[in-house]
Amino acid sequence: MSVAPLAEPSVAQLIDANLDRSREGLRVIEDWCRFSLKRQDLVVTIKDCRQKLGRHHHKTYKNARSTITDEGLGLKHPFQDNRKSPEQIIEANSARVQEALRVLEEFARTTDPALAKDAAEIRYLLYDLEITVLKATVGSERRHKLQKCNLCLITKPHKNLESIVKSALKAGVKMIQYREKDKDDHEKLVQAKELALLCKHFGALFIVNDRVDIALAIDADGVHLGQKDFPTSIARSLIGHEKLLGRSTHCLEELKRAEEEGCDFLGVGPINATETKPQLTPVGLAYAREASTATRLPWFAIGGINQSNLLPIKEAGAKRIAVVGAIMDSSDPSAASIELLEDLI
């Protein structure tokens, strides 16, 4: 390790403090990527940044450390207590690192140009890296929510659509899939946006059926595609990894393909005949039994499911269901939602 040029004691102390600050902030982000996001690519990049800065942390700087004379030691700001979510923690630590690196650039430029150069390069890298980590964090939280969902309401045209969805959400439904074939695009966009806001208010996932463009336009949580819709690779390239991608499957071969292609959740069915898609032949319970042991992805049994026929579907291995008429056609959508949720426990 090369020896750092001599700097004034106060400058050396300043450089030491900001090297500590930047390395600590990077470690916070790195550990989040490692243990929560499980993104090895991000971990490797951040660890490399930490190691580069560590190589510049010479004894000259460490020996200048003096906690006794540091007037700012232990000072806190009330805003620090407002960091409740992972996103806020990532944002705060990214800002901390960026600010510390800027200080290093300015004060090391004449006495330690190698440090100033690396600090500048890492700072610019972190601008983009922060966005990548934040997007990945949002995606992680969506997948965590998805794991907890056991009932998905798929909408159909109805004069009281918003009221029905709101009743279902109040009852505890945590996933809404917007399906609309008849309205023009402007009407779909307006309606989808209203439902998305409702879901956000209740902390539920909002998924758009078929339409990747609408899902992106209203910043939905994801999109669900049929077998004849966009290929998974194209859909994923459009929506990114932070959004959820679902796929309808009607046999084990389609299920395995969707899993290999990187889908986040699956539809399994139709279990029974359904008015929504009368052209599809019911697959019965056999496919549900196969799905229960064939994949670790969250999957929803679908097709003519209601409270009266739910028990054998559960016994076949289904832990999650997607329904249309069981809630949309009910005289009491709230009660219907509650009954289904209770039966799924």
Q: Is the pLDDT assigned to residue 1 strictly greater than 50? A: no
| Catalytic residue status for 319 | no
Confidence at 280, pLDDT banded by 50, 70, 90: confident
Q: Tell the residue number behind the tokens 């997607």, with chain if given.
A: 322
Confidence at 281, pLDDT banded by 50, 70, 90: confident
Q: Is the pLDDT assigned to residue 273 strictly greater than 90? A: no
Mean per-residue pLDDT over the chain, rounded: 93
Distance separating the N- and C-terminal Cα atoms of the chain: 61
Confidence at 73, pLDDT banded by 50, 70, 90: low
Residues in the chain: 345
| Catalytic residue status for 248 | yes
Q: What is the DSSP letter of 176?
A: E
Instruction: Find out whether 290 and 251 touch, Cβ atoms under 8 Å.
Output: no
Rg, Å, the chain Cα set: 26
Instruction: Find out whether 21 and 96 touch, Cβ atoms under 8 Å.
Output: yes
Distance CA 152, CA 205 (A): 9
| Catalytic residue status for 36 | no
Coil vs helix vs strand at 133: helix
Which one of 34, 47, 142, 179 is the catalytic residue? 179
**What pTM did the predictor assign?**
0.84
Which one of 47, 117, 142, 277 is the catalytic residue? 277
The pair of three-digit structure tokens given for residue 207, joined into one six-digit string: 């998924």
> What domains lie within the chain, and their CATH numbers?
9-141 (1.20.1260), 149-344 (3.20.20.70)
Distance CA 8, CA 56 (A): 17
Distance CA 119, CA 275 (A): 62
* Mean pLDDT along residues 88-105: 97
Which one of 22, 94, 140, 248 is the catalytic residue? 248
